[in-house]
């Protein structure tokens, strides 16, 4: 058996046991696929990790950058209380439409709001509203802008908030300082920013499984 087959099998085992799909999650992925969205949502056990992190945070307010069909949004939204709030940013109106349908079916349409536009344009608009600080920010959009998204996350959070960055490994490309791909450079710059910033305490973790070889970075906002 190949290593990657083994990783998939273990992911399937973990997901079935610890992060089983229900009708809502299954329908969200089915409708995303039917609408031609790429299958780049987080894996089920990763979605469950996001939910657990939001719960550990005692999160009432979550910000997500990169909605796709709202699969990760559902996991995060389910961690929130009934009066919680989740704002998720999506560039592609077609993705946003699928996500809105999926969030409504999940019963999260009162809690979760999909805002359409390039996040570097919608983030300043959100900041102008002087929103209460977000307890968790999940960054999962165009990786070239990851350093900007970390800076915005800092502006929109409080001491104790958690920033999660997806796809920081990308088959190991992140460790190659000579890599010139924009998304790899963006992620390396974001990691360097986390490492150097006096108000952030972070780490990064590699993952394998149904979504390939990739990883997350986590950073806690300090006082
Ligand atoms: N978080 C989702 C996956 C997001 S995929 C999940 O795990 O289920 C990345 C998404 O970011 C795509 O839908 C893409 O259209 C969106 N995106 C790309 N560039 C963006 C930008 N500049 N602003 C906001 N969203 C963007
Ligand atoms: C891609 C984006 C993601 O957010 C992800 O989790 C996997 C792949 C991509 O753009 O290829
Ligand atoms: Mg991702």
Mutational test site, ligand 1, from 100, 141, 144, max ligand atoms within 8 Å of CB: 141
pTM for this predicted structure: 0.98
Q: For the segment 85-108, what is each residue's pLDDT rounded down to a tens digit?
A: 999 999 999 999 999 999 999 999
**Residues 6 or more apart whose Cβ sits within 8 Å of residue 111:** 77, 80, 82, 84, 85, 86
Q: For the segment 128-159, what is each residue's pLDDT rounded down to a tens digit?
A: 999 999 999 999 999 999 999 999 999 999 99
* Residue among 207, 215, 167, 216 at smallest CA distance from 7: 207
Question: Which residue pairs, CB below 8 angstroms and at least 24 apart, start in 147-154?
Answer: 147/186, 147/189, 147/190, 147/193, 148/120, 149/65, 149/119, 149/123, 149/190, 150/190, 150/193, 150/194, 150/200, 150/219, 151/193, 152/119, 152/123, 152/127, 153/63, 154/197, 154/199, 154/200, 154/221
Mutational test site, ligand 1, from 25, 139, 142, max ligand atoms within 8 Å of CB: 142
Ligand approaching nearest to the C-alpha of 65: 1
Q: For the segment 172-207, what is each residue's pLDDT rounded down to a tens digit?
A: 999 999 999 999 999 999 999 999 999 999 999 999
Kindly give the distance from the C-alpha atom of residue 184 to the centroid of ligand 2, in angstroms, as a whole number: 12
Measured CA to CA in angstroms, residue 105 lies from 22, 46, 60 at distances of 12, 21, 21
Are 59 and 82 a contacting pair, CB within 8 Å?
no
Q: Is 10 in the pocket of ligand 2 (CB under 6 A)?
A: no
Kindly give the distance from the C-alpha atom of residue 126 to the centroid of ligand 1, in angstroms, as a whole number: 17
Please give the Cα distance from 88 to 178 (Å, whole number).
Answer: 33
Q: Which helix (H) or strand (E) holds 198?
A: none
Average pLDDT for 216-221: 98
* Residue among 163, 168, 173 at smallest CA distance from 202: 163
pLDDT at 3: 87
Question: Kind of pairing, strands 134-139 and 112-116?
Answer: unpaired
Residue with CA at minimum distance from ligand 1 atom 21: 118
Kindly give the distance from the C-alpha atom of residue 170 to the centroid of ligand 2, in angstroms, as a whole number: 9
Measured CA to CA in angstroms, residue 88 lies from 45, 71, 120 at distances of 20, 11, 13
């Amino acid at each position: 058996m190949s290593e990657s087959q083994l990783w998939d099998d273990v992911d399937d085992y973990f997901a079935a046991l610890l992060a089983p799909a229900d009708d809502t999650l299954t329908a969200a992925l089915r409708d995303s696929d039917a609408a031609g969205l790429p299958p780049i949502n987080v894996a089920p056990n990763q979605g469950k990790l996001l939910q657990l992190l939001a719960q550990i945070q005692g999160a009432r307010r979550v910000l997500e950058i990169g909605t796709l069909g709202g699969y990760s949004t559902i996991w995060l939204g389910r961690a929130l209380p009934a009066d919680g709030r989740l704002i998720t940013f999506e560039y592609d109106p077609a993705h946003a439409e699928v996500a809105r349908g999926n969030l409504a079916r999940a019963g999260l349409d009162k809690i979760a709001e999909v805002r359409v536009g390039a996040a570097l344009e919608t983030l300043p608009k959100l900041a102008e509203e002087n929103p209460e600080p977000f307890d968790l920010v999940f960054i999962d959009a165009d990786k070239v802008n990851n350093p900007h998204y970390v800076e915005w996350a800092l502006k929109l959070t409080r001491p104790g908030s958690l920033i999660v960055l997806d796809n920081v490994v990308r088959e190991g490309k992140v460790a190659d300082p000579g890599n010139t791909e924009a998304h790899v450079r963006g992620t390396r710059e974001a990691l360097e920013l986390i490492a150097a910033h006096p108000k952030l305490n972070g780490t990064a973790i590699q993952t394998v499984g149904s979504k390939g070889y990739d990883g997350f970075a986590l950073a806690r906002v300090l006082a």
